[in-house]
Amino acid sequence: MQHPSNGRPPRYPTSLGTSDASTITLLGHDLAGELMGQVGFGELALWLVTQRRPEPGEVRVFEAVLVALADHGFTPTAIAARLTYLSAPDSVQGALAAGLLGGGSRFLGVTEDCGAFLHEVVAGHAGRLPDDSDEEGWNALALETVRAARAGRRLVPGLGHPVHKVRDPRTPVLLRIAEENGHKGPHLRLFEAVGRVHPQVLGRTLPLNGAGVCGAALADLGLPVGLLRGFALLARAAGLLGHIAEEQRSPLGMDVYLSVDRNAEYVSPQHPTRQPTKE
């Protein structure tokens, strides 16, 4: 950017999009003539972030991740979106934003947390990683990783799920799609090995969380770990829009509100353990 003190107007460079009176340019291509109807939304989203057109295998893995993260039922994010729509039906954007704002460390955030955790290990062993076919080598690295996390009183992100106690059904499918498309890289291989060896350290067997596998898959696509939560939110936006549409067709936000309101019990701040008399 040039400073305005030189007499010229400031400049704000971007390699994404621009427009004039008759054309719209996106990523160096004519939007109407070269992209619309020829590029899928998932491909475009990946292209926008990486600034290069992804190859088909990358798109297939990326879109599988988006589908895996789109919706998971009545999670807090979905409830927040529905209740916000109940309160302000004139603000679809507010309801959608409310749901997205709820994507954090407990819901959706595991995608980024797991990807970042694995990336720290992978980057720290650059040049010394096992070969793809060396399962024992990956097991040894995973065992070292889990033991170090345990010693540091850190949780291993992506281990366990509040609903899928034995196996997250998304996990084997994502691993298979990544393998089929040549994008099962070190992050996925390490996380898969964590799934094999962690019982030796933790004394119990936990499933590999599908959202965590999504983070590993995105990291194997070379995407910045600091943006992984953004991709989870991109996926969940579709699910939240579905919840808002269903709320318009078959409202239940009022039932949720009334259920909480009618079953609330007031506890005096002076006697927090005393149960109030019900009328």
Is the CB of residue 60 less than 8 Å from the CB of residue 51? no
Asked if the structure places residue 86 within a domain, the reply is no
* Whether 114 and 49 share a structural domain: no
Containing structural domain, residue 124: 110-228
Which CATH number goes with the domain that contains 191?
A: 1.10.230.10
Residues 6+ apart with CB under 8 A from 28: 15
Q: What pTM does this model have?
A: 0.90
* Whether 43 and 115 share a structural domain: no
Quote the tokens at residue 10. Answer: 């400031």
* Domain end marker among 202, 228, 254: 228
Asked if the structure places residue 134 within a domain, the reply is yes
Quote the tokens at residue 178. Answer: 């990544």
* Domain end marker among 228, 250, 270: 228
Asked if the structure places residue 68 within a domain, the reply is no
Residues 6+ apart with CB under 8 A from 241: 96
Q: φ, ψ for residue 186 (rounded to 5)?
A: -65, -30
Asked if the structure places residue 215 within a domain, the reply is yes
Which residue is it, tokens 């003190």?
A: 5
Number of domains the chain is built from = 2
Alpha helical stretches, state H, 12-91: 41-50, 56-69, 76-87
Asked if the structure places residue 35 within a domain, the reply is yes
Asked if the structure places residue 185 within a domain, the reply is yes
Asked if the structure places residue 46 within a domain, the reply is yes
* Whether 130 and 217 share a structural domain: yes
* Whether 45 and 114 share a structural domain: no
* Domain end marker among 208, 228, 248: 228
**Tens of pLDDT, residue by residue, the chain (279 residues):** 555 567 789 999 999 999 999 999 999 999 999 999 999 999 999 999 999 999 999 999 999 999 999 999 999 999 999 999 999 999 999 999 999 998 887 788 899 999 999 999 999 999 999 999 999 999 999 999 999 999 999 999 999 988 888 999 999 999 999 999 999 999 999 999 999 999 999 999 999 999 999 999 999 999 999 999 999 999 999 999 999 999 999 999 999 999 999 999 988 887 656 554 443
Asked if the structure places residue 243 within a domain, the reply is no
Length of the chain: 279
* Whether 25 and 129 share a structural domain: no
